[in-house]
Structure 1
Amino acid sequence: MNIGPRPRRLIRTGAALSALGLASLSLAACGSGSGDNGKVKVAASFYPMAYLAQQIGGDHVEVQNLTKPGTEPHDLELSPKQTGELSEADLIVYLKGLQPAVDEAVDQSGVKNIADATSFTTLEKHGTDVHGEEGHDEHGEKGHEEHGEKGHEEHEGHDHGEDAAGDPHVWLDPVRYSEVAEGVGKKLQKADPDHKDEYKKNTEKLVSRLKDLDKDFKDGLKKKKTDTFITTHAAFGYLAERYGLHEEAVSGIDPESEPSAARMKELHKVAKKDDVDTVFFENTASDKTAKTLAGDLRLKTSVLSPIETIKDPKKDDYFSVMHQNLTALKTALDAQ
């Protein structure tokens, strides 16, 4: 899966698949097994995957997040040491298509137990313009009959450089994220059947929390005065679709891409027409574009986190940041 026109210089694996890296992979593949401390070794590609593994695995797992806190995950390059460590994992949890360097290393790893998030849920195409259509906020009850086949048809006309596999930001929709959690839970049970019952219990607990989060968003956004929000990064397509919102992104899936003059002009019209009063930017990227647009239109700026990484995991986690996002959206959409 290709997530769009991300600059090629950012996604080359470089030295990661040098002769040294390949040697590490082949040697380590022979010695795959549980860690010295008896825990299951899990390699996770970036924060949302690492969080699932830790919550489900609990004390029985040792999770290595390949993407350091505060680092942009799309741009990850792996060192020969990391590729070697990846091949020693008992389980790899990743999201295919988000990090090409990881995709390539996983293919070379020889690891038996692999949990690919994209295989546990449905993906759709999203880009700079995502319309929350009537009935989308009911997806939680309806399941994925519409969300899959019908969803792909609805978005067929919006081609923003992604391939048919679609937008990778599934973790920002609590319902889809819970589907991924269930898939990861089953893979962990297979990798470590001795603790199967505990992993199953932890998965059910996490899915229950995600159902509560889904309800919080539905209830919190029920009385919104407007459904349109502007963001610098088109990461919130699934969230917008789930709760009947309309995302207008300054740029596409790539948070660093520069918007065209025509796109900025279009956003000026959208902001006036749909009574938008806030331009969102993400906390790990520059706020320059958001401030420029907000300044031109005399709008406010605020943070909406795509939760691709968390700077301080001891202070925040997935649920706390999702609730911060909900508060920010309620304020911007006048849903008090």
Structure 2
Amino acid sequence: MKITQGARIAGLASAVVLLAGCTTGAPAATTSAASSGSAAAPTTTTLKLTVAAYPLEFLAQRIAGDSATVTNLTAPGAEPHDLELTAKQMADLGSSDALIYIAGFQAAVDDALKASPPKLAIDASTGLALLDPAAAEEGEAPKPGAHDPHIWLSPANMITMAKTVDTALSQAHPELATTLNANTDKLVADLKNLSEAYTSGLATCQRKDFVTSHAAFAYLARDYGLTQIPIAGIDATEEPTAARIAEVQKLAKQSGVTTIFFETLVSPAVAKSIAGDLGLKSAVLDPIEGITANSAGTNYLEVMQSNLKALQEANGCS
């Protein structure tokens, strides 16, 4: 759901909405961007940025650097699809300088934007070619306007998202533009290197299909010529039907996959059961919906590199 209140910011951030905040209060938990590797020197302005989920936290920290404190509405280790906001989070949202979110990803966030609007709302999916979730919903037609929200698993998408956030924040806070632009340039360079690693690393693989716990990897598959076979649909917490499990087993046999992938924030039981039934390996392919002690890295870039290695091993890439 797109937010339509307030004046539109021109250019790349066309979906950014200026909204009058009406409540005050500090975010429940903040993280300093100082540890994120941002390049530019600190400034005297400190923004209060709120993000809806981890991938957006990574972007905000890298782009804003020491110019912001960043609050993630989704607690570490929590599944973001089923986020429910507390009364305090709702109140704090109104005093945030900006909310960075993905429209249609988390219903609680979409609803909160109407009930407790921040000063600035930035839809990070602006300008992206969004995929519909039909293939992940066991043959059902997608709802009107529905799209696959897992946009961050494409490094190319993340580059566009970074530029969207940079443009919006720079226009709203021109005194920080030099810092924000410099940090964004370094982030974009890192993301381009990541994309090049995927392109070369997946160029010569024996197999192109891979089985995942839920349908989070469609953008990655699109960008690098792979085919995702999801056990569950768009929501990681949904239970696959017996018919879907049987279909996945059939497709896994036909495609000759060697590995059934599971993830870190939801139970691996179904994925491991399928792997056991078929005599296949099981391994982690992380949708990076959150970073925990079980993650194969401390940030988005590191976990994406781990995912690349997992895909290369599973698909016989040379």
TM-score bucket of the superposed structures, by smaller chain: 0.7 to 0.9
Aligned residue runs from structure 1 range 144-159, under 5 A? 159=140
| Aligned-pair CA distance for 1:250 | 0.9
Aligned residue runs from structure 1 range 165-244, under 5 A? 165-244=146-225
Distance in 2 of aligned mates of 1:231 and 1:169: 14
Distance in 2 of aligned mates of 1:49 and 1:115: 11
Choose from 282, 301, 314 the match for 1:332.
Answer: 314
Aligned residue runs from structure 1 range 19-30, under 5 A? 26-28=22-24
The answer to whether 1:54 aligns with 2:61 is yes
| Aligned-pair CA distance for 1:294 | 0.7
| Aligned-pair CA distance for 1:165 | 3.6
- Which residue in 2 is equivalent to 1:20? none
Per the normalisation by structure 1, the TM-score is: 0.78
Choose from 118, 121, 130 the match for 2:128.
Answer: 121
Report sequence identity in percent. 40
Distance in 1 of aligned mates of 2:204 and 2:169: 40
Distance in 1 of aligned mates of 2:314 and 2:103: 33
SS in 1 for 2:249: helix
Per the normalisation by structure 2, the TM-score is: 0.83
Cα 1:308–1:160 change in 2 (3 A) is farther
Distance in 2 of aligned mates of 1:271 and 1:27: 52
- Structure 1: segments with no counterpart, 5+ residues: 3-24, 30-36, 131-156
- Which residue in 2 is equivalent to 1:275? 256
- Which residue in 2 is equivalent to 1:32? none
Distance in 2 of aligned mates of 1:223 and 1:78: 45
SS in 1 for 2:214: coil
Distance in 2 of aligned mates of 1:220 and 1:288: 29
Cα 1:283–1:110 change in 2 (3 A) is closer
CA-to-aligned-CA distance 1:94-120 (integer Å, 9 cap, x gap):
111111111111223333321111223
- Counting matched residue pairs gives 281
The answer to whether 1:318 aligns with 2:318 is no
Which deviates more, 63-72 or 100-109? 100-109
The answer to whether 1:306 aligns with 2:293 is no
Q: Which amino acid aligns with 2:131?
A: E
Cα 1:241–1:159 change in 2 (3 A) is farther
| Aligned-pair CA distance for 1:251 | 1.4
Distance in 2 of aligned mates of 1:301 and 1:48: 25
- Which residue in 1 is equivalent to 2:87? 80
1:125–1:158: 8 Å Cα contact kept in structure 2? no
- Which residue in 2 is equivalent to 1:33? none
SS in 1 for 2:306: helix
Structure with the bigger percentage of helix: 1
| Aligned-pair CA distance for 1:255 | 1.5
SS in 2 for 1:232: strand
Which deviates more, 259-268 or 325-334? 259-268
Q: Which amino acid aligns with 2:89?
A: Q
Distance in 2 of aligned mates of 1:87 and 1:253: 29
The answer to whether 1:64 aligns with 2:51 is no
Q: Which amino acid aligns with 1:110?
A: P
| Aligned-pair CA distance for 1:159 | 4.4
| Aligned-pair CA distance for 1:28 | 3.1
The answer to whether 1:291 aligns with 2:307 is no
Choose from 217, 220, 227 the match for 1:246.
Answer: 227
- Root-mean-square deviation (CA, aligned residues, Å) is 2.3
Q: Which amino acid aligns with 1:124?
A: L
1:91–1:191: 8 Å Cα contact kept in structure 2? no
